[in-house]
Amino acid sequence: MKKVLFAAFALALILSSCGGQKPVMINTLRPADLAIDQSIQTILLVDRTKPSKRDNWLNIGEGVLTGEMPAQDKAAAQEALNSLKNALQTSPRFEVLIASERLEGNSLTAAFPDPLAEHLQFNMINRYQADALIVLEVMDSDFIITEGKRKVKRKVGEGKNRREIEVDEWYAQGVGNIKVGLRFYNPRNKELIDQQMISQTNTWEGAADSKAGAIAALISRADAVRHLCGKIGHDYAYKVAPMPITLRRVFYTKSKESPELEEGGRMAEVGQWKEAIAVWEAGIPRATEQKDRGRMAYNIAVAYEVLGDLTQAKAWAQNAYSKYGNKTARTYAAQLQNRMNDEQALQNQLN
């Protein structure tokens, strides 16, 4: 399994802000929705949407009627597996492979076929030295284009002669739909870990002065499918593997009465979080305003979270609310407790 540094946070500070606050972005990992057996380290992705010879003739007949050919779904299936692999490779949890062969499955309906036979499951994991299989068993994609003409307003001319006129504009609209069925097999335990049908839909538009130009400006079917498959790969990866996420926090930087709040804020902006904590801690008893004491306690909580000490962060967030009345800190303390729960789940998943 790949190495991971649990407390490796990348900070990105945005210079402009409003209301005396500035954001800090924290990159971390989110635990998977499913807890996968630790013995599973290498996953093989398999395409099981190849039509049988009999089904292939029926698919071709359907394609003649719908404008959709079997080769298009084959390309879509490959794109779906590639997108899932790419998404899973951003996680430290699994090594991911894609099988070169394509297995026969149910290509006539958008329903799951019978589970993959056990001997085929073992054949695949033994051939690729994998521990488990994620099998694409349903793939149904289409891209429907409609076009038309509409009136739009445009500005023409220059200077005093500039005016707005109404002209005809051609538009082409493409609606992409994709339906993917995935199964996650653990052959050694004879376990079907997961089964899910995932759908994605999106609409694109192109416009021009002519019908041909509008269609040319529209996204291609291949790019539309690639886009939708990318979403599917992203969503399913988050279900089965710990994945990177970015958390947004804010800290206070302005005060007319407490110079320590501003001084610590400047330190935080350049990544000097430990030094900022020391300044804010010293500033709390000196502050004349209860509001500033609460804000500095809140800032200390944020600083400890950035540094990876969630226990101290939660304690300071609780103090910011209970001692100094910072209402935002109450919600923040709950967020930190959720993060602590997630970190425990993450540790268990990554062993």
Taking the C-alpha atoms of residue 334 and residue 6, their distance in angstroms, rounded to an integer, is 21
Residues 98 and 205 in one domain: yes
Residues 229 and 93 in one domain: yes
| Higher-pLDDT residue of 53, 145 | 145
How many CB atoms are closer than 10 A to CB 70? Answer: 18
C-alpha atoms less than 13 angstroms from C-alpha of 208 in its C-beta half-sphere: 12
The last residue of a domain, from among 241, 264, 280: 241
| Higher-pLDDT residue of 277, 104 | 277
Is residue 218 within 8 Å of 205, Cβ to Cβ?
yes
CATH number of the domain bearing residue 95: 3.30.160
Q: Is residue 34 part of a domain?
A: no
Is residue 140 classed as helix, strand or coil in its secondary structure?
Answer: strand
- What are 164's two structure tokens? 């707005």
How many CB atoms are closer than 10 A to CB 299? Answer: 29
Res 60: pLDDT: 45
Which residue range(s) make up the domain with 81? 42-241
| Higher-pLDDT residue of 290, 65 | 290
Residues 333 and 185 in one domain: no
User: With 90 as the cut, is the pLDDT of residue 143 above it?
Assistant: yes
Residues 233 and 261 in one domain: no
Q: Is residue 5 part of a domain?
A: no
Q: CA 88, 92, 93: angle at the middle one, nearest 5? A: 75
Q: Which helix (H) or strand (E) holds 89?
A: none
Residues 273 and 222 in one domain: no
CATH number of the domain bearing residue 332: 1.25.40.10
Q: Is residue 139 part of a domain?
A: yes
Taking the C-alpha atoms of residue 271 and residue 113, their distance in angstroms, rounded to an integer, is 54
Residues 103 and 228 in one domain: yes
How many CB atoms are closer than 10 A to CB 147? Answer: 15
Is residue 241 within 8 Å of 88, Cβ to Cβ?
yes
Is residue 180 within 8 Å of 197, Cβ to Cβ?
yes
Q: Is residue 249 part of a domain?
A: no
Residues 317 and 225 in one domain: no
Residues 275 and 216 in one domain: no
Q: Is residue 74 part of a domain?
A: yes
Average pLDDT of the chain, as a whole number:
88
Q: 189: which DSSP letter?
A: G
Is residue 297 within 8 Å of 325, Cβ to Cβ?
no
User: With 50 as the cut, is the pLDDT of residue 18 above it?
Assistant: no
Taking the C-alpha atoms of residue 166 and residue 77, their distance in angstroms, rounded to an integer, is 45
Q: How many domains are contained in the chain?
A: 2
Residue range 228-268, pLDDT digits in tens: 998 999 999 999 999 999 999 999 999 999 999 999 999 99
Interval 168-194 mean pLDDT: 94
Residues 206 and 319 in one domain: no
Residues 137 and 235 in one domain: yes
String of DSSP letters for 176-223: EEEEEEEEEEEGGGTEEEEEEEEEEEEEEEEEESSHHHHHHHSPPHHH
Res 254: pLDDT: 93
Q: Is residue 209 part of a domain?
A: yes
